[in-house]
Structure 1
Amino acid sequence: MPVLPGAEPYHHDGGTVGVLLCHGFTGSPQSLRPWGEHLARAGLTVSLPRLPGHGTTWQEMSRTRWEDWYASLDKALADLRGRCSETFVMGLSLGGCMALRLAEIHGAAVQGVVAVNPSIVNDTPILRLAPVLKWMLPSVPGVAGDIKMDGVTELGYARTPVRAAATLPRLWKLVQTDLDKITQPVLVFHSRDDHVVKPASTAFLRARMGDNLEIRELLDSYHVATLDNDATAIFEGSLDFIRSHASVPLTKDL
């Protein structure tokens, strides 16, 4: 299946500190590419894979599930760990959720987590009917492109495959159940005006996590904040986060 132009994965070989970036549901690496390039310029090794079924057609994505997306990230993390002495995981939306899952599973092998508008709570009531709807309704209107900045677009699907979406509640439940396993530092960027992920996800993290959680509010961006007005704050904030929590120096510092 041909990959949409601009949806290709991004990789950069830098220093001994590595970062795995996880894009969101129905999105593509395009939404995180500027973030990855910013970290690469600081001397970091960066891995930004394209999740299975993404960046092609929603019909292809309909044949995948969260386990497929997570498995690709788990493989990318293993590769990064083989080349770097320390690794951080970061993600947008559902990518933030899967970044948290990687931290739960791999423990100290993940040095820290940065999540932008993470989705970890089922705040869409229709998803409760998805196991039945998927047999009658192949897709619903998409959620990509929630950006405040004029003239900026996200490369994502205009339709959301119901069969793929029906697998999400299981992932959310696992992440919620195992949150206490995360002892690493976690930085969350939360858009005050988000038309995709409701405040319940950030509120859940705030209620369940301890002093290792820091939440920073974004005042001038919508859901895809990595392409929006607050992108620079995310890029620089995540780089400062790495500098604060990496025990080895970056090869190249800004």
Structure 2
Amino acid sequence: MQILEGAEPFHSPGSGQRADTAVLVMHGMTSSPQMVRPVADRIAEQGYAVSAPLLPGHGTTWQEMSRTRYADWLAAVVAALEELRASHRTVVAFGVSMGASLVTDVAARRPELIDGLVLVNPAFAADDWRLKVIPLVKHVVPAIQGIGDDIRREGPPREMAYALTPLKAFDSFVEQWPRLVRELPEIRQPVMLVRSRHDSVVPAVSCDVFLAEVGSDDVTVTWLEESAHVAPLDHDAEQLIEGTLEFVNRVSGHGT
């Protein structure tokens, strides 16, 4: 399946002293690395190694995604982190939405792979009653309206996300939420939790649950006051990028 132009994975080997540190940058559900490229590009410009892979079933068609499940996406994230760990002293994982949930999952189960987490609007819980009927509806309705492009800023660039969300693939993620929450006490790494004030995709309860259950005693919460869910492409992108760089500098020991 051909990857859509602009949705390709991004990799940078790093340069100079900071090349001993790598940052995994993960996009969200139905999206692609295009969603997080502003972050990935700036981190790479600072000399850090960067990997922004394309999750299975993404960056092509929603029908292709409908044949993939959470286990496929998790395996891709684990493989990317194992590759980075094999050749870098420090590895930081950055993720948006489902991408944040995926890297959190790995941090809890394979803590040796991740030294720090930047979680942007992570999804762990929701109070939407419609989620309760998805296990039944998914067998008769293949897809619903897409969840992408939740951006307050007008004009380009817009998020390259599918117009439809395949229900069976989506439900494979929602099914994992109770397990992910149970694993949160295992998270001991430093965490930068980023919350968008106007997020209409992931409800506030998700981050509230994370903060109540996470085991790390090094958690910094940053609010993006003018942004919606897709923060890397919204009004507060510069604040997000600068904060991420400061966090990577601290975790890696490279300073500013």
Question: TM-score by structure 1 length?
Answer: 0.95
- In 1, are the aligned partners of 2:224 and 2:236 still within 8 Å (CA)? yes
Alpha-carbon offset, residue 211 of structure 1: 2.8
- Residue 176 of structure 2 aligns to a residue whose secondary structure is helix
Q: Helix, strand or coil: the match of 1:167?
A: helix
Match of 2:141, SS state, is: coil
1:109 is displaced (CA, Å) by 3.0
Unaligned runs of at least 5 residues, structure 1: none
Query: Number of residues paired by the alignment?
Result: 250
Q: Which residue of 1 aligns with 2:50?
A: 46
The answer to whether residue 128 in structure 2 is matched with residue 124 in structure 1 is yes
Between the aligned partners of 1:212 and 1:123, the Cα distance in structure 2 is 27
Separation in structure 1 between the aligned mates of residue 103 and residue 206 of structure 2, nearest angstrom: 14
Query: 1:123 and 1:11, CA in 2 relative to 1: closer, same or farther beyond 3 A?
Result: farther
- Distance in structure 1 (CA, Å) of the matches to 2:27 and 2:130: 23
Contact 1:127 1:165 (8 Å CA) reproduced: no
Note if contact 2:82-2:113 (Cα within 8 Å) is conserved in structure 1: no
Percent identity at matched positions? 38
Structural RMSD (CA):
1.3
Is the counterpart of residue 151 in structure 1 residue 186 in structure 2?
A: no
- TM-score, normalised by the number of residues in structure 2: 0.94
Structure 1 partner of 2:244? 238
For the residues of structure 2 that align with 1:233 and 1:100, how far apart are their CA atoms?
A: 22
- Report the Cα distance in structure 2 between the residues aligned to 1:224 and 1:107, rounded to whole angstroms: 27
CA distance in 1, matches of 2:113, 2:78: 12
Task: Give the SS at the match of 1:88.
Answer: strand
Q: Which residue is 1:206 aligned to?
A: 211
Aligned mates of 1:68, 1:245 — CA distance in 2: 29
| Unmatched runs of 5 consecutive residues or more in structure 2 | none
Give the Å deviation of 1:134.
Answer: 1.4
Question: Partner of 1:12 in structure 2?
Answer: 12
Deviation at 1:127, TM superposition (A): 2.3
Quote the offset at 1:36 in angstroms: 0.3
Among 189, 194, 202, the alignment partner of 2:199 is: 194
Structure 2 distance, partners of 1:123, 1:40, is: 38
Q: Which has the higher relative contact order, 1 or 2, with Cα contacts under 8 A spaced 6 or more apart?
A: 1
Alignment of 1:57-206 (within 5 A): 57-152=61-156, 153-206=158-211
SS in structure 2 at match of 1:220 = coil
Q: Give the conservation status (yes or no) of the 8 Å contact 1:53–1:62.
A: yes
